[in-house]
Amino acid sequence: MAFSVATTTAVADEVENVPQEELIITASRTNTPVTAIPNTVKVIDRDALEKQLAVSTSLLDGLSFSVPALTPAHQKLSSNGVTLRGRTPLYMTDSIPQSTPLRNGQRSAFTIDPAFIDRVEVIHGANAIQGVGATGGVINYVTIDAPENGEWLKKVSVELTTDDFERDGYHYKAAGVIGKSFTNTDFVLGTTYQLEDLYYDAEGRAIAPDPIQGDLMDSEAVSVFTKLGWYISDTQRVELLGNYFDLNGDGDYRVVPGDVARGKPATAEAGEIDGDPTYNDASNLSLTYTHDDVYQGQLTLQTFYYDFYALYGGGTFGSFQDEQIAPAGELFDQSALSSEKYGAKITYVRDNTFWEGLQITTGLDYLNDTTQQELVQTGRTWVPEMTYSGWAPFLQLSQRLMSNRVHISAGIRYENVELDVPDFTTIAGANNTFVKGSTPSFEELLGNVGVVFNITDQLTAFASYSEGFEMPDAGLILRAVNTPDLTVDDLVDLQPIIADNTEIGLNYHYQGLDLSLNYFWSDSDFGSRIQVVDGVGHITRQKTEIEGLEISANYHFDNGISTGAAYSKLEGRYDSDSDGSIDKDLDGRNIAPDRVNLFVEGPVLANLSARLQYSILLDREFDGGQPQHDFDGYQLADAVLSYQTDTFGDFTLGIENLLDEQYITYFSQTLTYVNNTTYFAGRGRTVTVKWDYAL
């Protein structure tokens, strides 16, 4: 199991009042402090998250500044093409997987409201810490807890956002959270409501809604969260978590096509849309039992259930046509994805096993995921009901040496997976082809090894190798079958994707100075690329190689002011002709732009603090691609002012795109299948005013 994870100096920048030697990463499933884990981890605490949310369209957009290796988000209801180090990350909420591995619905980042998140843990690079799906890393949303000191958590917030005071460009949100710890029990309960209207670009034009993936604007969202805890004894605890997130598009605006060739973005106008408005519906439920003294170790048992349903936009795509239903070119349809999963995770951690300094982490994971996709306007099955069933035992060893100056870790994880697919017939667009169902199975042994060496009290070096495992987008593969007399077993493209991550790095901490330098490379001999034809995705399996460099420097002055810079560079190539040699660049769907992030923040007056951040996305040319899909970079500035009062609560003013820069988003510039209806400008200057009040 690729358990190797560790720190960069960015951890210190984003987590306040927690010494690094005490910071435990829950997504790592070990009790090892972050300073002893040999890889790159980023932790964004609540305070840092609040600042990013004040100048971001969504939680996913907010993460892209804090994590430069993450592709800039769409400002849409989609994580399509959002990669971490060039590969797909696994999204989780309190270690509950949110991703849909059998048919990537590209909505996995939109299943919880950020009002209920205490911090975000980001583990960079391919790993199998949490099982299937993390070839790019893990993004784990850790939810809020009741205060441990017994005080009440009673907080309400109201915020208003305007797109530079444009008509129909006002957005509203209200949230409330209450919680308390008693002698043996504790609880948290929260709810949010959000109403979004139109977004505008810097030239005052209404930005077009995404007609296929769906949009955050012109929508209404409701979320409910609860967490109940009970200490059975001093060493035993049971915790129940529930989360419901529902985002519904209103469908009040339709797309006015732009002109890609002339650089004119699509816009929006009031009017009825074809079909039904898009929406996202996600429910999480988990029960966790912990025992801190089982043979001098800690036992954790988590069971979970996750239900997800997403409706997408539609069209009269050629692949949707069926002359038995409507004349050619006239049949409109749209798809809906449903995914239901349940599973269990058993983890046992014991320190000083057999001898001093040896930590053993072992356990067993089980996951069952059932996914299908239908065309809702005609009631046709587009992707048959597929069931993924997998179990995986794992063992991880970590040894401290030389008075804790050296930490060596190594581990294995054995994945045993079955994919059950029934007999099915593809739709007319794939020639009504009958495919014989079957239950292919896969077995993979994944390993990792890493070392951390504290050269001095200030300088640390680390190196690691880890492997990650994911399924290809089986739904895309199955719905595209148009060759007769095939069975599911014949489809070699259903073989799993194994990606590795090799990384070396240096971290330096001295007084107020933090420096980090990380270099990584990642290979997959049988990787996965998605190509879009006539609005519909298809899978291509090819060898891929990715490498990157990440540098950060931060300084904390004695007067409370902090300043810093981060640089991320990424290169990705693939084997386009299957001759065993990589020969072309991966495109913008896979590779993030090279990026420089700058910030300065700190107190201005007694109760007033400020933050200014500047993001530079650098130009990129794609070797082997089409010149019109090269990236013309842009630069964005954001500002945040926070004012705290003793009586009236806290006030935050956030200004996104402070300089009102007009730009075309990264994906609209680089994705090869963008057309006149999906050519989007980014948001212009937006102003958010938020009031937080603790009752």
The per-residue pLDDT for 306 is: 98
pLDDT, tens only, 181-223: 999 999 999 999 999 999 999 999 999 999 999 999 999 999 9
d(CA 50, CA 466): 33
The per-residue pLDDT for 253 is: 97
The per-residue pLDDT for 11 is: 41
Lowest mean pLDDT segment, chosen from 126-130, 493-497, 571-575:
493-497
The per-residue pLDDT for 25 is: 83
The per-residue pLDDT for 540 is: 67
Type and span of the H or E element at 498: strand 497-510
Q: Which CA distances in Å does 38 have to 464, 481, 503, 588?
A: 6, 43, 9, 29
Give the pLDDT mean for 402-423: 95
Residue 537 above 70 pLDDT? no
The DSSP annotation for 373-434 comes to EEETTTTEEEEEEEEEEEEEEEEEEEEEETTTTEEEEEEEEEEEEEEEB--EE--GGGTT-E
Who wins on pLDDT, 469 or 517?
517
The per-residue pLDDT for 539 is: 60
Lowest mean pLDDT segment, chosen from 408-422, 490-504, 556-570, 667-681:
490-504
The per-residue pLDDT for 19 is: 52
Give the pLDDT mean for 28-51: 86
The per-residue pLDDT for 383 is: 96
Computed over every residue of the chain, the mean pLDDT equals: 92
Backbone angles phi, psi at 265, to 5 degrees: -75, 155
Give the pLDDT mean for 566-588: 90
The per-residue pLDDT for 316 is: 95
The per-residue pLDDT for 47 is: 95
Contacts of 245 (CB under 8 A, 6+ apart): 110, 111, 112, 113, 221, 223, 280, 281, 282, 283
Nearest to 126 by CA among 622, 555, 496, 637: 496
Lowest mean pLDDT segment, chosen from 26-40, 167-181, 276-290, 549-563:
26-40
The per-residue pLDDT for 527 is: 61
The per-residue pLDDT for 10 is: 38
* CA geometry: angle 376, 378, 380, nearest 5 deg: 80
pLDDT-derived band of residue 549, with 50, 70 and 90 as boundaries? very high
Domains, the chain, ordered by start: 10-694 (2.40.170.20)
Residue 624 above 80 pLDDT? no
Residue 409 above 50 pLDDT? yes
Which tokens hold the place of 20?
Answer: 């690094």
Residue 493 above 80 pLDDT? no
pLDDT-derived band of residue 4, with 50, 70 and 90 as boundaries? very low
Residue 45 above 70 pLDDT? yes
The per-residue pLDDT for 675 is: 93
The per-residue pLDDT for 654 is: 98
The per-residue pLDDT for 26 is: 85
Residue 389 above 90 pLDDT? yes
Contacts of 206 (CB under 8 A, 6+ apart): 166, 168, 169, 198, 199, 200, 253, 267, 268, 269
The per-residue pLDDT for 1 is: 42
Give the pLDDT mean for 307-330: 96
d(CA 364, CA 344): 8
Give the pLDDT mean for 342-364: 96
The per-residue pLDDT for 17 is: 41
Residue 6 above 80 pLDDT? no
The per-residue pLDDT for 531 is: 53
